[in-house]
């Protein structure tokens, strides 16, 4: 084989090499770099002498970290629950030979085109206690109505849930709708001929066959939840106090505004491990299914 032939043979690898190099450095290398920082006593500037798991110990002793983690559990479970329930209901309703399905789908899904910062700005205005929804309901006659979650440290995390669900429900609806359209009609028709009512057909036959869609939706939503940052920053800035902090805002605060690099890096590593614990099995099962099928 001549030089030209060998060049042709290796060309695909050569073409791929910048991307592979970028992935090795900027994904894997940087993860190791962050892991290293998390094992040092770095403050304002990174130091590279290892200090063991000091930062992790501090992290787990930090009340603020537990508040952020608990908030993630609250936000994540409510966000996933409501997105899946509302998304499924909307998809089933839209699947009933609706005349204006296209227009409705467009309306349900448009929040996905918006930045979380825009969504947060809108909800911040509507939820503000002085002039927002609280005022609207009071003007309608309920003069003692209070809705101050945005400034109430016990309730602030729930405002993130409200805005997050509004933004992501349409997307889950689209996933379920695609799943519904993929189901073989003959099974449903047979059940109907046997006298099963429509709700029963959905409950007994259609929903169980959509288990993979539920699985995908829950994985994607938990991934969105763990990474949630923008919405908190614009709606509450993690406040009042740090009552609505999430791990992502926690990491940002300590690494970039308080200059505690080691501490911030340790929180980033915990986030990374949490995401990998969810994603790696998911990817593995997805790829395996594709190979067998």
Partner 1 sequence: MAERSLVKAPRTPGVIAGRLFIYALLGIAALYFLLPFFVMVITSFKTMEDIRTGTLISWPREISLEAWKEAWSSACIGVNCQGIRGYFINSVKMVIPAVFISTAFGAVNGYVFSKWRFKGSEVIFSMLLIGCFIPFQVILLPMARTLGALGIAQSINGLIMVHVIYGLAFTTLFFRNFYVSIPDDLVRAARIDGAGFFRIFWRIILPVSAPIIVVTIIWQMTQIWNDFLFGVVFSGGDSQPVTVALNNLVNTSTGVKKYNVDMAAAIIAASPTLVVYILAGKYFLRGLTAGSVKG
- Cα–Cα distance measured from residue 33 to residue 48, given in angstroms and rounded to the nearest whole number: 10
Q: Would you say 79 or 171 has its CB closer to partner 1?
A: 171
Asked if 187 interacts with partner 1 (CB under 8 A), we say: no
Candidate residues 57, 73, 142, 287; the one interacting with partner 1 per rule CB under 8 A: 287
Structure tokens at 68: 């952020």
Asked if 50 interacts with partner 1 (CB under 8 A), we say: no
Asked if 214 interacts with partner 1 (CB under 8 A), we say: no
Among the candidate windows 51-59, 70-78, 148-156, 172-180, which touches partner 1 by CB under 8 A? 172-180
Q: Least distance in Å: CB of 259 to partner 1? A: 11
Asked if 271 interacts with partner 1 (CB under 8 A), we say: yes
Candidate residues 234, 238, 244, 263; the one interacting with partner 1 per rule CB under 8 A: 234
Residue 40 bridge partners (DSSP): 50
Q: Least distance in Å: CB of 139 to partner 1? A: 5
Exposed, middle or buried by CB within 10 Å (0-12, 13-18, 19+), for 279?
middle
Among the candidate windows 55-63, 69-77, 144-152, 245-253, which touches partner 1 by CB under 8 A? 245-253
Residues 190-209 interacting with partner 1 (rule: CB under 8 A) = 192-193, 198
Residues 93-152 interacting with partner 1 (rule: CB under 8 A) = 93-98, 104, 106-126, 131-133, 135-136, 139
Q: CA distances (Å), 88 to each of 21, 101, 220, 285, 293, in order?
A: 42, 15, 15, 23, 27
Q: Would you say 51 or 131 has its CB closer to partner 1?
A: 131
- Cα–Cα distance measured from residue 44 to residue 260, given in angstroms and rounded to the nearest whole number: 6
Residues 143-162 interacting with partner 1 (rule: CB under 8 A) = none
Q: CB of 167 within 8 A of CB of 122?
A: no
Among the candidate windows 57-65, 73-81, 90-98, 143-151, which touches partner 1 by CB under 8 A? 90-98
Q: CA distances (Å), 283 to each of 182, 209, 219, 247, 276, in order?
A: 22, 20, 10, 24, 10
Candidate residues 1, 2, 3, 13; the one interacting with partner 1 per rule CB under 8 A: 13
Asked if 230 interacts with partner 1 (CB under 8 A), we say: yes
Q: Least distance in Å: CB of 175 to partner 1? A: 7
Q: Least distance in Å: CB of 77 to partner 1? A: 18
Asked if 70 interacts with partner 1 (CB under 8 A), we say: no
């Amino acid at each position: 084989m001549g030089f030209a032939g060998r060049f042709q043979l290796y060309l695909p690898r050569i073409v791929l090499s910048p991307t592979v190099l970028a992935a090795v450095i900027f994904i894997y290398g940087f993860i190791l770099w962050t892991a290293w920082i998390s094992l040092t006593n770095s403050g304002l500037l990174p130091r590279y002498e290892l200090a063991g798991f000091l930062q992790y110990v501090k992290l787990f002793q930090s009340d603020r970290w537990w508040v952020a983690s608990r908030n993630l559990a609250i936000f994540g479970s409510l966000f996933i629950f409501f997105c899946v329930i509302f998304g499924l209901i909307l998809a089933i309703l839209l699947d009933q030979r609706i005349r204006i399905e296209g227009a409705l789908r467009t309306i349900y899904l448009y929040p996905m085109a918006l930045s979380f910062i825009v969504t947060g700005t809108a909800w911040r205005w509507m939820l503000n206690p002085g002039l927002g929804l609280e005022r609207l309901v009071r003007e309608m006659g309920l003069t003692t109505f209070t809705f101050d979650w945005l400034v109430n440290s016990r309730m602030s995390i729930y405002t993130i849930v409200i805005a997050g669900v509004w933004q992501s429900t349409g997307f889950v609806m689209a996933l379920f709708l695609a799943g519904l359209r993929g189901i073989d009609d003959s099974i449903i028709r047979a059940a109907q001929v046997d006298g099963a009512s429509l709700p029963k057909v959905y409950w007994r036959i259609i929903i169980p066959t959509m288990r993979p869609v539920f699985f995908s939706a829950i994985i994607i939503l938990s991934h969105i939840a763990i990474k949630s940052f923008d919405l908190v920053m614009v709606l509450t800035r993690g406040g009042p106090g740090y009552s609505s902090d999430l791990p992502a805002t926690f990491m940002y605060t300590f690494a970039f505004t308080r200059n505690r690099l080691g501490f911030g890096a340790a929180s980033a590593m915990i986030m990374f491990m949490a995401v990998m614990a969810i994603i790696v099995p998911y990817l593995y099962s997805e790829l395996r299914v594709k190979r067998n099928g």
